[in-house]
Amino acid sequence: MKKQFKTIALALFATTLSFAALANTENPKAEKAKTFDVGMYYNYNTGTIKTFFEKQKGDYLQITFLDNEGNELSQSFLTKKQETGRVNFDINTLPNGTYKIKVSNGKEEIIQPVNISQPSPVKIVKF
């Protein structure tokens, strides 16, 4: 029971750190979009970046996941009728590096950098 509690506590701590890391990457000088809002966090259990969107009715929203060179890895849309939406990006198979999530409605654009780095394996020695 004690071991399970430590495991759960460690998982919650790691999730909190990942959310704080994503929140700290926001550029305070960057201008925010006026017609839509974006939120995101990393889910350690599934290895996905979960993004949430709120927008005005009547505008479309294009969500693109780009690599460091600007190549499109994934693209999704929110229709003009939708006011909210969610898109998940699976990053389990991606190599370490810097990626970008680009959100645009044709008039306004937000680009959020995402750094992916897998922890190096730890060798466990038993005595």
For the ranges 9-18, 53-62, 77-86, 99-108, the lowest mean pLDDT is seen at: 9-18
CATH topology of domain 36-116: Immunoglobulin-like (2.60.40)
pLDDT for 31: 55
Q: Give how far the C-alpha of residue 17 lies from the chain's centroid of Cα atoms, to the nearest Å.
A: 14
**What CA–CA distances, in Å, run from 9 to 4, 26, 66?**
9, 27, 34
pLDDT for 35: 83
CB atoms inside a 10 Å sphere around CB 66: 19
Is the full-model pTM beyond 0.75? no
Average pLDDT over residues 80-88: 90
pLDDT for 70: 87
**pLDDT band for position 62 (cuts 50, 70, 90):** very high
